[in-house]
Structure 1
Amino acid sequence: MSDIVAAAEVATVAMRDVFPETPLLRNDYLSDRYGADIWLKREDLTPVRSYKLRGAFNAMRKLGGGRVACASAGNHAQGVAWMCRHLGVDGVIFMPVTTPGQKVDKTRLFGGDRVEIRLVGDFFDDTLKAAQTWCTEAGATFLSPFDDADVIEGQASVAVEMCAQMGDLPDMVVLPVGGGGLSAGMLSYLRARGTVPEMRFVEPMGGASLAAALAAGKPVTLDRLDTFVDGAAVARIGARPFDILRQVPPQHVLRVPENRVCITIQELLNTEGIVLEPAGALSVDALRDLGPEIAGRRVVCVTTGGNFDFERLPDVKERAMRYAGTKKYFVLRMPQRPGALRDFLEILGPDDDIARFEYLKKSTRNFGTVLIGIETASPDAFAVLEDKMQARGFAWRDLTEDPMLGELVI
């Protein structure tokens, strides 16, 4: 038995003194939809609603005392805080000043009197630098969220549990990739056991750091980062995880659109009552791209987190509708004359609903500008609407897919 197998299995047994294993559940809805045998490894059901406490536990149990610190605005902070309280370790959690109050309060709740929270910097890089500087000065241990051998070993416990629960290996495992700790841990354990199922690694389109590293042959820093899928949007994959992942075939790395993930979040919430954060839904969303590849096969999707702030639900709905093509935004040039608005309203279809309307009247001009958002039942309705606008002589511009203008006015 290899070292990683023995170490991961020992860590998994030790975890049972602190928190129970997460369930591996067959999902009938997804199985019927994709004509496959779909199982969900529910990491969203840990005590902190993410897998992050596994790596934190394994790293902290090996320290043998002393203070710890981390820099995080999300699941890693909560995992470290929870472990500090349950292992009796003092910790300092550095979080950006811009971190939502709900996340700060939850981290404080998990850590209790064992954790001090320090809000430092508007950007994560500033927060990270402050945490590492403090560790050097205070003689504390910095806990990386993914670029650490003990953390990777701890995350491998997901694979240990999966194998024991299933009794046999699935045909395929689908899991998200952020910094790479979870994927490196699971892959290294499965490799060491001697049999590896097919693996698919899923990244958000705007944070595909593994795909970039595989293309370059080494970790690289992305020029731009879309942080919507905040649990997996990492600008640079960890060096240690990449050493394990560097042999992954590039075609096995899937990149999914952020707005499409929102459709999956809504579907699982509405049909199954499963609450997933964007990163937690990545593996399930990727099933759309796998299609015939998974038909009739047993597939495990790792749902990595359920720390969803319901204040984000309107944004999720908005993004889902825009991806589905059932909501658009237009800037409309409207004549400044009586009856012009009525003329426009008459061309709307029976399922067209005005969700936003802003009109700026300018007394010195013959035309005014309207920002209008329209929701409809089918994407085809917009082709009809646009033909009618053109026939009536309305000048318009579609802002829906313009990221710069959309960010400013939508």
Structure 2
Amino acid sequence: MKRCIRITLLLIMTVMLCLMVVSCNKKQNSENNERVLKGNIKIVTDVEHGPQFELAAEAFEKLHKKVNINVITVKDTDNNVEAIFNGPQYEADITTINDSSIKHIITKNSEKFLEMTGSVKGYKDELLANKIYNDTVKGKVYALPWDTYPKALLYRKDIFAKEGIDINRIKSWSDYIEVGRKISKDTGKIFIANSSEDNNDIYLLLSNQLGTSYFNQSGKLDFKSQKWARVIEISKILYGEGLIQEIPSKDEVINKAQLNKIVSFIADPTYAVTLMNKFPQSKGKWGVMKLPAFEDGGNRDVSLGGINLVINKNTSESNLSEEFVKFALTDGKLQMDLLNKYGRFPVSTDAYNFVDLNKSITYFDSTIWNLFGSVEQGSFSINYTKNFPDIREKIKRVLNETNIKNENYKSIIEGVETILK
């Protein structure tokens, strides 16, 4: 009996000792956390992304009470990195740069940015590989992707049904063009609307479908390739027959769609959320499908655009800034909150397996986020070279609606070559 009591007391003392050790460790970890995660950081981003960072900052501050994050929005970050980081007005710890400019900027000014190769090592493989590649120069990671823009078509289900169109039979651009000819004739509406903003550049969208852009994967200009001949061919039909119409902005596309002027439009997740938020009464009217391929069985996945986070090398809050970036890119709840509220599509591929991301969205009666996830993972990467921004501005003078309608392929390509000399 006494032996049993001694054994029992010994077990109790052992358990209590273990609990004390665990408690001390938790307390120590908590103290270490508080010691590291305190301070102030300033984020400067563009107007569209400002609310997204406000939401991320709020979630981070709830976890870390001694942290304060100030989010400031400006019209243009790409061309103002020096002023944003070092000018007296901002002195930001973190700013954002567009996909198309990031390679150009970090190649030219890598000394301005905190290298994150080591700090991202633990979760880099979770992020989209093509985005990380774009953020890397000479094997060093100087930026991390914030979002991505997979593309699809939102279309009027009621109009397609009335015209007897089965979207499951639409496989190629030729199929969609035939449908467009019929619907345009019968309704007089814009068959395909597309925003003329950079993230919806129709020529890059089409070339991305074929696995190229201005540059091929070897970094050489690709306009003389058969792929670009096909891009010009489809573009000439769409513009020449009035099947596609460029509209200045996303908001104008959404407004025209609601005014019953548009049958379908090229969209990313931000369009879908904007449509749901602004016009809830249109629930059930719109459907979603992948872009048509260039031929039956061809690639229908396209992704274009996104911004990237860079940290000021001179910041006194480098550790805190890196912790915020990691949280903002990988926290599961935040990924879904940002998607559902703003249409910000995650760059963490783990999120693509979330139950909530694969649920049906009643507004579209579709697992629309799952479709966009499939598009993102199936799309070709775009080779953004260090000269991409300059070349893009020059090419816009040749690749435009007027020339596509009136010039032949040879003349267009000669115009591109001339302007790039």
Shorter-chain TM-score tier: under 0.3
TM-score, normalization: structure 2? 0.25
Greater radius of gyration (CA): 2
Q: Which has the higher strand share?
A: 1
Determine which structure has greater relative contact order: mean sequence separation of CA pairs < 8 Å that are 6+ residues apart, divided by chain length: 2
Instruction: Provide the TM-score with structure 1 as the length reference.
Output: 0.26
